[in-house]
A and B are shown apart, each in its own frame.
Chain A
Amino acid sequence: MADRSLSEFLRMPEEVTKGNTLITVFERSTVTIDNYKGLLLYDPCEIIVKANRCHVKVCGVNLNIDYFTKNDIQISGSINKIEWS
């Protein structure tokens, strides 16, 4: 509640104040996941990333990881599906 009111008061996005996971999709070619917790599975057809409160599954063909740092990961390839579990 305090976090919500703080982010509302400062008008800052929640991924900054609360550390929520932010997923940005560019068409079907690139997905950027900010504030992720770790990589669970890496396969050219499937990448599973541990997010803040869930797992994010990116399915597609020829999936590559452009870069990944402590905070964000960028996946590129022909993306067919993004799932939360």
Chain B
Amino acid sequence: MLLKLYLFLTGYVTVMVKGGNIERFLNLCVNKSLYIRELKMKDGGIVFSIPVRDFRKIKILLQKTKSKVHILERHGVPFFIHRYRHRKTFVVSAILACTLVYLSTLYIWDINVTGADQYTAQQMIRDIKEKYLALGTKKKDVDCFEMEKKLRKDYDKIGWISCDIKGTQFNVIITETVSTDKIEKTGEPCDIIAIRDCTVGEIITRSGIPVVKSGDTVKKGDTLISGIVPIMGDYEALMDISYVESDGDIYGITTLPYEDSFPLHTYDKIYTGKETKKYSLYVMDACLRLPSGKKRYENYDTVTEERKLKLGRTFYLPVIFEAKVLKEYKVTPKTFSDAEAEKLAEKRLNAYIDTLKEKKVEILENNVTIEIRDGTCTASGTLTVSEPVGIRGPIDQSLAPKEENAGNTE
């Protein structure tokens, strides 16, 4: 591959040598270290490829062997330049195009997020563009390590993150944490506080002193586990106070209100199969609408497909080709029966419960009732759940043992 590239850059010719002693000619070529390849017999002569530099040396050998040479094809960059030497505009344009392509490689033209599940990739990309990295930022100004830190701070469900630049694309790969009950460790002393009003269901302390016990009612911001650990001496005397990073699992029992309603009379979409396409070209932020179908529908869905222009795999250019497909549909009225409406309401409630379960929320009690009245199906009630309620919080000094006790130890 490298040899072919070298030959292409330096130029090579395909020639036909006729007459004289062919074998002697070839042996002389080899002795002169000329590089001959793709040799074959054709029309009573031999055809082969030889680099331009070596071709200049074979004239003496042709005289020696009384052979004649005829150039069949010319390949490579030197011939290309020679062919277009009078077309100055073309050459200038080619140089300009190469320069522009090179310059565009110095900037970020695309942001890609993979691994997002609870967060959406589109939302993350929008946030990154708005807050940290606008398209067109110089690659040398991008600090991937800093970006990792910032994104980790913004998105607390990120368990692992990696940012890198490939070509002109800024890549973010994330792995989200499955459970939300993990409290991030930083090594600094802290309390664990309640994130909402609840009744403490279960408390497992790994580090620190538990301030509440199972069954206690706490309010948002109350300390659950204190990072202040008193060191007691003989006779229960306070020797010293140690500040630790509190750690533990605290599950609180809370009541979540649930309300969902939908009308019994609704509409169904029936696609007619008719569709029209609209094309646009985006260069940076400028939009150019391309001529396309002018059909207008009363009711239609829009499906947008974006294609980013790129060279190779990762060299994205600031050009986006957008195709919008407008699909026409007709609206047909539809009425749910009571049984159908109840089934649908249950399905929507179960979907909501499944979402809670994915977040490690345990459903203890389901007090949701479904009611159909005045053409509306309403599911309302409460869900009693057990969920993680502890987060890191600053040390609450009011929980520290009093100074007078410390003085008594001396």
Contacts and interface: CB of A to CB of B under 8 A. Distances in A.
A68 B41 contact: no
B36 interface: yes
A40 B36 contact: no
Contact of A42 (B33, B37, B38, B46): B46
Interface residues of B, number: 16
A8 interface: no
Interface string A29-72: 00000000011111110000000000000000010111111100
A21 to B, nearest CB: 15
A66 B48 CA distance: 9
A68 B31 contact: no
Contacts, number: 44
A39 B37 contact: no
Contacts of B40: 44, 62, 64-65
Contacts of A69: 30, 33, 35
A44 B27 CA distance: 17
A44 B23 CA distance: 13
Interface in B45-104: 46, 48
A68 B26 contact: yes
6 contacts: A40-B23, A42-B23, A42-B26, A43-B41, A44-B40, A64-B41
Given A41-B23, A67-B36, A68-B36, 18 more contacts: A38-B30, A39-B26, A39-B30, A42-B22, A42-B41, A42-B46, A44-B40, A44-B41, A62-B40, A64-B40, A65-B48, A66-B38, A67-B38, A67-B39, A68-B30, A68-B39, A69-B33, A70-B31
Interface of B: 22-23, 26-27, 30-31, 33, 35-41, 46, 48
